A = this chain, B = another copy of it.
Amino acid sequence: MLRFVDLVSGKWAIPILYRLIVSGGPIRFSELQRAVAPITQKELTRHLRAFERKGLVERTVHAEVPVRVEYRVTGLGLTLEQPLAALADWADAHSARLGGGH
């Protein structure tokens, strides 16, 4: 198996991506930050930039005041839906038991 971690890495990468995928449509920066709380602005920005570079996420800036920036997954990003959903289901089912292991 190749290093999946090299493709989607970082503490918040999976939560962000999964949130973007399940949200369906475009989602604003602030809305995304609330959804993936307690992530910091810096980290959210960093991850989103990385996703953009990899073609997983698209960024749209609306020239309004105040500025509105929206993010949405690309077709490529959507192909992660099944794998991430499987992971999410697993985490939901076993997180209680695994949490004690620190």
Contacts and interface: CB of A to CB of B under 8 A. Distances in A.
Interface stretch (A24-32, A50-58, A59-67): A50-58
B88 A79 contact: no
A53 B102 CA distance: 7
Interface string A10-26: 11111100110000000
Chain A interface residue count: which class? 35 or more
A5 B14 contact: yes
A55 B92 CA distance: 16
Instruction: From A19, A89, A94, name the one whose CB has the most chain B CB atoms within 10 angstroms.
Output: A94
A101 B54 contact: yes
Interface of A: 1-5, 7, 9-15, 18-19, 50, 53-55, 76, 79-80, 82-84, 86-95, 97-98, 101-102
